[in-house]
Amino acid sequence: MNGRELYTTAHVCPPQEPLPKPVSRFPHAEFLISAAAPAQFPADQGAEVAFVGRSNAGKSSAINAIAQRQGLARTSKTPGRTRLLNFFELGANRRIVDLPGYGYASAPEVERRTWTPMIEALKDRRSLRGLFVIVDARRGVTAGDEGLLDWSASDHRIHVLLSKADKLNRSESLEVLRTATRALAGRDATVQLFSAHSRTGVEEAQNVLAAWLESKPGAPSAPPGTEA
């Protein structure tokens, strides 16, 4: 063998193996319960963060991307569960609450009658650390969204994910971020660009969620740089 043979591709490169899966930030994420009434909520212990957004805003995709579990939030889409509050456990006494797609101001009266007490009961829980609001970045934060954000007005901070950011170019992204930041000014709110598809902002969202889930009730915990 001469020296050159030692360095053929076959010697230098080991056989291709699949890339290792990234270590999950929330390795024990799992579906907990669908609640049709406050009495079915899990015990009010530990910490939880609610996820809300209009239908089709990308909420399920965001939950799956953040929890790194494909199909986790599919439960919320199964017939019969779309109008329920779906709880997922990310760790011991650490939960996500997936609220049905909103726009419920125009929902039938009967739906609102079931809904309102559930939301009110959720707001009153000591565990609730805040609200992730998923807004399609192409739509931006609208008057309707701001109406919803009001439910968190007093005690509950909010974090807005401007979703599907992969659909925007850089200058459009910056513009939508600027506009949302203006719309949220004066609230206890943070905002970021997000894409489940390109994974833009997934780590940032995980950081906010993890910090909130580890925070004490009422404690501010916005990481620097995300203030609205």
Q: Interface with ligand GDP includes 86 (CB under 6 A)?
A: no
Q: Interface with ligand GDP includes 201 (CB under 6 A)?
A: no
Q: Which is nearer to ligand GDP, 202 or 208 (CB)?
A: 202
Partnered with residue 30 across adjacent β-strands are: 89
CA distance 154 to 218: 10
Binding segment toward ligand GDP, per CB under 6 A, in 15-23, 58-66, 87-95, 168-176: 58-66
What amino acid is encoded at 129 in this protein?
Answer: R
Q: Interface with ligand GDP includes 164 (CB under 6 A)?
A: yes
CA distance 130 to 152: 8
- Those residues whose C-beta lies under 8 Å from the C-beta of residue 173, and which sit 6 or more positions away, are 137, 162, 165, 193
- Those residues whose C-beta lies under 8 Å from the C-beta of residue 59, and which sit 6 or more positions away, are 51, 52, 53, 73, 98, 101, 134, 163
Q: Interface with ligand GDP includes 197 (CB under 6 A)?
A: yes
Q: Interface with ligand GDP includes 157 (CB under 6 A)?
A: no
124: its two tokens: 């009153």
Out of 33, 115, 166, 215, the residue judged to bind ligand GDP by CB under 6 A: 166
Total number of residues that touch ligand GDP (CB under 6 A)? 16
Q: Which is nearer to ligand GDP, 192 or 195 (CB)?
A: 195
Q: Which is nearer to ligand GDP, 28 or 197 (CB)?
A: 197
Binding segment toward ligand GDP, per CB under 6 A, in 10-18, 57-65, 154-162, 211-219: 57-65
Q: Identify the burial level of 154 via C-beta atoms within 10 angstroms of its C-beta, where 0-12 means exposed, 13-18 middle and 19 or more buried.
A: exposed
Q: Which is nearer to ligand GDP, 32 or 221 (CB)?
A: 32
List, as one string, the DSSP characters of 60-125: HHHHHHHHT-TTGGGGGGSTT-TTSEEEEEEETTEEEEEPPPB-GGGS-HHHHHHHHHHHHHHHT-
Q: Interface with ligand GDP includes 56 (CB under 6 A)?
A: yes
Closest to 29 (Cα-Cα) out of 102, 87, 106? 87
Q: Interface with ligand GDP includes 53 (CB under 6 A)?
A: yes
**Smallest distance from the beta carbon of 195 to ligand GDP, in angstroms?**
4
Binding segment toward ligand GDP, per CB under 6 A, in 50-58, 181-189, 202-210, 213-221: 50-58
Residue numbers 90-149 binding ligand GDP by CB under 6 A: 101
Q: Interface with ligand GDP includes 192 (CB under 6 A)?
A: no
CA distance 152 to 102: 14
Q: Which residues contribute to the site for ligand GDP (CB under 6 A)?
A: 53, 55-61, 101, 163-164, 166-167, 195-197
